[in-house]
A and B are shown apart, each in its own frame.
Chain A
Amino acid sequence: MNKIRNFFEQLRSYPSAFAGLAVIVFMVCMAIYAIIAIPYNEAVRLWRGGDNVWLETPRNASPAWTNYFRKDKLPETIVLKTTEDPSLKTVVPLGGGVSVNDMVFTFDYHYDGFPSELSMFFTSTFKSARPNVSIKWITPDGREIRLTDMSIRNSESYRISQDNSVSRRVRGLAPEVGLFADPNDPSKVNKGTYKVVVEGLVFEEGSTLDGSLVVYGQVHGMAGTDHRRRDIGVALLWGTPVALSFGLLAAVGSSLTTMLLAAAAVWFGGWVDNVIRRINEIVMILPTLPILIMVGLFYSRSIWAILGVVILLGIFGSGILTYRSMFLQVKESGYIDAARAYGASSGRIILRYMIPKVIPVLIPQFVAQVPNYVFLEATLAVLGLGDPVLPTWGKLLNDAYTNGALFTGHYYWVLEPAVLLVITGLGFAMLGFALDRIFNPRLRGL
């Protein structure tokens, strides 16, 4: 306990360490929140579920908080559903199984920007006669614009923004613009209360008709959406546990194994030392990234396979030589001789006598190594070798890159994962530097 208190006492003289620690704690909390709030299966469904999952979110929408920084407020998505709010629908039976199903979707629109899209979705049940609907658009100044008449199958979507006949009725403007534009100045939004009136007729007893109106906004959620209407926030949240666990596991796996190998090489010496050093020399000159790309292309893109290869390649390197030189010194210590004299076995000497002596040097290096592996995972994902299932930061960057996010002005798509990566790296680096000073007596007092 004393040791730990001492350690924090020393840490106090390095404010950057606390900043780094705070960042890491924040990241860990975020990771835990992500796992609890969006369980793995749910995350995979949200990320790879198909168009039905993302039906009601806008495409390429900016994060909602961008509205705080602009004068002309951009619209958020408005969704109205008769299944959720039955008061939108009135059913009047006319006899003979025929009934009127009228739906009125009323919403206030006070944004300065036009919606990005406009859609209606209908569901119905019937035996042979399809229900019919006739849809009207009523602007705040009382103009009535006929949209369309259509018959409804079990599931029908009506993309208003793709209906050219509507476009013709609003002076050739795109429907989602024309329907909202001020008649005197089409570049401005006519603010007020809009109504979409659906006059429906069903022709059979027991037949039902439900509808919904989606006015797609230009902003969505904390993080915005991508080209497939997916919420980027899901990937940002879930990228955290993936990145942290990848970085930590890779750093732990490789540095512990490195240390064990170096200790064994030094302790047993002779041919063991020779074999380990020769292998190290060979692996040191192998190019890591191309090997990982080949593994990703020809073997598996699973994050576990990549992790295994990263650890294997990470074990060898200059680290093993550094540790070896330290262990050579430790091996000559009197206490090792003493331990041998009272009968300690080789395994015990390596694990209990040699490694604990070097651990203080390992900790800062280990902390500083974590972001390297986080970046490596992101690098692979950017190159299109990310895990095919999991949403990660690197895959966001990859999507942003392939869809030209920066050319089309979707800067948030690149910046959000990039900022998280930078913060993670910064947090571990700041903590690592401070730990290095605490544990490395030669740097103390600098």
Chain B
Amino acid sequence: MPSTALKMQPETRQAMPILAVEDLHTWFEIRRMGFFKAGDVRALDGVSFELYAGETVSIVGESGCGKSTLAKTILGLHKPTKGKIYFEGKDLSELDKHQLKEYRAKVGYIQQDPYGALPSFMTVERILKEPMIINGITDKDEQKRRIRQVLEEVKLAPIEDFLPKFPHMLSGGQQQRLVIARAMILQPRLLIADEPVSMLDASVRVEILQLLQKLQYDHNLAIIYITHDLSTVRYFSERIFSMYGAKIIEKAATKSLLKNPLHPYTQALFEATSDPDAENLKTFKDVPTGEPPSLLNPPPGCRFHPRCRKMIKGLCDVEIPPEFQVTEDQSTACWLYKDHAQGK
């Protein structure tokens, strides 16, 4: 796969991030017998980051660490409990209904299961028209022009053949292309791709990822790429955020992270990646035991400390680690690096 991922250098970035997330919390209330509050599931617990136009950020982490909740909170599908989301400098919580609709048009959403993401009772044409109708693009010619354009972009050709089809008549790859086309039809500035290839055949994955890259290049899109498949990450993104237990525990440029993961969890994550290399026969992988933390009742201190081999007694299990800026493009929330300067 060609690597266009590192085309953007930090100095070329615009001053203002397209998306800024500050101390975002999304908690889901658990009720007992419908009335009494039994506690909160802390699906997101203090997440902050910035994203610039034209940049791809991968978010990696195991199942249940809050990756999808982060995506849905940014999309406005979940209401944040605390914290702020700024899009192009504007605080989302202060937008009125009309502005919120405009915001939603500027953010595209690509889901994991392409078949579930498409209404089975609508034709391809209808599926692509819906977002335009909802967002006030009612001119028939303009609708046709846009449908033609996005279908060409996602390479669903010949277009006329696809328009009257229903989703179940398409292959998995074609369905995902249609989902991407739908996300692109409102000409978004930001794409949120929530495991876009994890349900596809290995042969189709590369095509879809290349397609996303091309779209990003052509439209200067910012992409948040959520995945647990680390093998695709290295080709695709400029920065990687590693999540564990509803928090981002490491942020790094892809190159640095691949060379030298800092956080013990990130290290373990990369250890666990399978790599078809004959050398692997002779080496032993040190994969941490245990289970992901309960988000209803998370462990004190660092969320990873019960599974961490390098745990510092009396610190890791007591105090929540702040973010340490270890190198210029790599920061982590781990007490092992407490000698480095604290990030923001």
Residues in A lying within 8 Å of B, measured CB to CB:
2, 333-335, 337-345, 348, 352-353, 356-357, 359
Interface string of B127-141 (1 = CB under 8 A from A): 000110011000000
- Chain B residues in 8 Å Cβ range of A343: 100-101, 104-105, 131, 134-135
Assembly CA distance A341 to B71 (angstroms): 11
Check A337/B104 contact, CB under 8 A, given A342-B135, A344-B130, A356-B119.
no
Of A341, A345, A353, A359, which one neighbours B77 at CB under 8 angstroms?
A341
CA–CA, A337 and B105, complex, Å:
14
Evaluate contact between A348 and B120: CB separation under 8 angstroms: no
- What chain B residues lie within 8 Å of A348 (beta carbons)? 134
**Cross-chain contact A338 with B104 (CB below 8 angstroms):** no
Out of B72, B77, B104, B119, name the residue touching A357 (CB < 8 Å). B119
> In the complex, what residue of chain B is closest to A357 when comparing beta carbons?
B121
A362 to chain B: closest CB distance in Å? 13
The residues of B that contact A2 with a CB separation of less than 8 Å are: 164
- Contact A338–B111 (Cβ < 8 Å): yes
Could you tell me if B118 and A337 are in contact, using CB atoms closer than 8 angstroms? no
CB distance from B113 to the nearest CB of A (A): 6
B119 A337 Cβ-Cβ under 8 A: no
* A338→B120 contact, CB < 8 A: no
Max chain A Cβ within 10 angstroms of own Cβ: one of B75, B116, B117, B119: B119
Given A338-B111, A338-B182, A342-B105: A333 and B116 interface contact (C-beta under 8 Å): yes
Kindly list 4 other residue pairs between chains A and B, CB separation below 8 angstroms, not including A342-B109, A342-B186: A338-B182, A340-B75, A340-B77, A343-B131
Tell me, rounded to whole Å, the shortest Cβ–Cβ distance linking A441 to chain B. Answer: 12
CB<8 Å pairs between A and B, sample of 25: A333-B116, A334-B118, A335-B119, A337-B72, A337-B75, A337-B77, A338-B117, A338-B179, A340-B75, A341-B75, A341-B104, A341-B108, A342-B109, A342-B131, A342-B186, A343-B104, A343-B105, A343-B135, A344-B134, A348-B134, A353-B119, A356-B119, A356-B121, A357-B119, A359-B121
Counting chain B CB atoms within 10 Å of each CB, which of A343, A356, A359 scores highest?
A343
- Give Cα A406–Cα B131 distance, bound, in whole angstroms: 66
What is the CA–CA distance of A109 and B320 in the complex, to the nearest angstrom?
113
> What residues of A have a CB within 8 angstroms of the CB of B117 in the complex?
334-335, 337-338
| CB-based closest 7 A-B pairs | A334-B117, A334-B116, A341-B109, A342-B131, A343-B104, A334-B111, A335-B119
Cα–Cα, bound, A352→B122 (Å): 10
* B341 shortest CB reach to chain A, Å: 38
Task: Given A342-B130, A342-B131, A342-B135, answer yes or no on A337-B121 (Cβ-Cβ < 8 Å).
Answer: no
A342–B121 Cα distance when bound, in Å, is: 18
Interface residues of B, Cβ cutoff 8 Å to A: 72, 75-77, 100-101, 104-105, 107-109, 111-113, 116-121, 130-131, 134-135, 164, 179, 182, 186
The residue on B at minimum CB distance from A359 is B121
A340: B residues at CB distance < 8 A: 75-77
Q: For the complex formed, measure the closest distance between the CB of B228 and the CB atoms of chain A, giving whole angstroms.
A: 18
Residues of A within 8 A of B108 (CB): 341
Q: Which of A341, A343, A352, A353 has the most CB of B within 10 A?
A: A341
Q: Which of A334, A339, A357, A359 contacts B113 (CB 8 A)?
A: A334
The answer to whether B76 touches A341 (Cβ under 8 A) is yes
A337 touches B109 (CB 8 A): yes
Among residues of B, the one whose C-beta sits closest to the C-beta of A341 is B109
A343–B185 Cα distance when bound, in Å, is: 13
Chain A residues, Cβ within 8 Å of B100: 343
Residues of A contacting B111 with CB < 8 Å?
A: 334, 337-338
Partner of A342 from B104, B112, B120 at Cβ < 8 Å: B104
For A357, the chain B residues whose CB sits under 8 A away are 119-121
Contact status B134-A338, CB under 8 Å: no
Q: Which residues of A contact B131 (CB under 8 A)?
A: 342-343
Contacts of A337 in B (CB 8 A): 72, 75, 77, 109, 111, 117
- Complex Cα spacing A339 to B134, Å: 9
Contact across chains for B135 and A335 when beta carbons are under 8 A apart: no
User: Which residues on the B side are within 8 Å of A339 (C-beta)?
Assistant: 119, 130
Q: How far is the CB of A354 from chain B (nearest CB, A)?
A: 10
Give CA–CA (A344, B164) in the complex, Å. 22
Residue in chain A with minimal CB distance to B101 = A343
CB contacts (< 8 Å) of B119 on chain A: these are 335, 339, 353, 356-357
Q: How far is the CA of A335 from the CA of B118 in the complex (A)?
A: 5
Chain A residues with Cβ under 8 A from B186's Cβ?
342
Shortest CB-to-CB span from A360 to chain B, Å, is 9
Given contacts A334-B116, A335-B118, A337-B111, contact A342 B72 (CB under 8 A): no
A residues within 8 A CB of B118?
334-335
Q: How far is the CA of A223 from the CA of B192 in the complex (A)?
A: 72
CA distance A352 to B179 in the complex (A): 18
